[in-house]
Amino acid sequence: MTSLEPRLFAEAPARDSRFNVKDFWHQMVNLPPEDNRATIEFLHRQMNEEINGLEISARNLADFRDAPWDLRMAMARQCWDESRHIEMFRRAFEARGANVGDFPVLNFQYRILMRIPSLIGRLAVQNRSFEAAGIDAIRNEVDARRERGEDDLVALFDTQLADEVQHVRYANVWIRNLSNAGGPREVLDLARAVAIAGEAFQIVAGEAMVSYPVADDVRREAGFTDEEIDRANALVATASGV
C-alpha cells in the first residue's frame, strides 16, 4: 500500500516545509535503542504527536459546540496541556543538538480521529485508547530514563504523565455520561469508532506495533475499572505471545 485510504483517513493537518511527513511506520527513521540518535528521534516524533493531540482537541471544540460546558472546558485545558508538551519536547531535543525537521513525522492520529464523526467516538479513540496506551509507555520511559540518569527527561515524562492521566480520566467520565444520556446510539457510535480506528492503526503500524506493560495503578487513577485493566493486561499478553 502506497497511500492511506480516504475511507479510514482524513486529510492531513497542515505542516510547514520543515516537516517531512510520512504515512507508514516503516517509512520513519526507526533506530535501535543503542543508536545515539534514538533518543532525539523519539523526542522529535513525540513532539509532533503532541501537536496532533492539540489539533484534535481544538477540532473537538470547534466541531462540537453544543457539548456540555464542563466537557468543553476539559477539552480546552487539554489544548493548553498539549501546547506545553510540544514546547517541552522541542526544548529537550534542541538541547541535544537537533532541530525541528531533522526526522520524519507521522500524523496518523489526527487523520484517524477526523474520520470519526461523533464526540464520544473521538474521546474513546484519542483519550481512552491512544492516550491510555500512552500512559503505559510514559511510565516505562520514566523508569528507563531514571536508570540512565537522564534527569531532564524524567522530569519531562513525569509532567506529561500527570497531564495525560487527567486527559484519560475526563474522557472516561464523559464517555459514561454521554452513554447514559444518549443511550444505544452513543454506544453504537463508540463501538464503530473504535473498530474503524483499530483497522486504520493496523495499516499505519503494520508489524511494528509495540505493547508496553500495563501501568495498573496509573490506569486506575485515570478512571479505568479493575475489569477494564484486566482486559488491557490480557490484550498485552496476547500481543506478546504470553
Nearest residue to 210 (alpha-carbon basis) of 33, 55, 13, 89: 33
pLDDT of res. 240 = 57
- Cβ atoms 82, 57 nearer than 8 A: yes
pLDDT of res. 2 = 64
In CATH, 21-205 is 1.10.1740.10: no
Q: Over the range 80-89, which residues count as b (16 or more CB within 10 Å of their CB) and which as e?
A: ebbbebbebb
Integer angstrom CA distances of residue 17 from 21, 83, 104, 152: 10, 20, 12, 29
Q: What 3-state class would DSSP assign to 106? A: strand
pLDDT of res. 241 = 56
Nearest residue to 59 (alpha-carbon basis) of 134, 126, 4: 126
Query: What CA–CA distance (Å, rounded) separates 39 from 19?
Result: 18
Query: What CA–CA distance (Å, rounded) separates 183 from 189?
Result: 10
C-alpha cell at 189: 457510535
Mean pLDDT by 10-residue block, N- to C-terminus, for the chain (242 residues)?
A: 85 97 95 93 97 98 97 98 97 97 98 97 95 89 91 94 95 94 88 94 84 86 89 77 54
Residue found by looking up cell 492521566 in the block = 165
The pTM of this model reads 0.93
Question: What number of other Cβ atoms are within 10 A of residue 231's Cβ?
Answer: 13
Integer angstrom CA distances of residue 39 from 18, 61, 64, 218: 20, 33, 37, 24
Query: What CA–CA distance (Å, rounded) separates 147 from 44?
Result: 22
C-alpha cell at 193: 469508532
Query: What CA–CA distance (Å, rounded) separates 163 from 78?
Result: 8
pLDDT of res. 230 = 87
pLDDT of res. 229 = 87
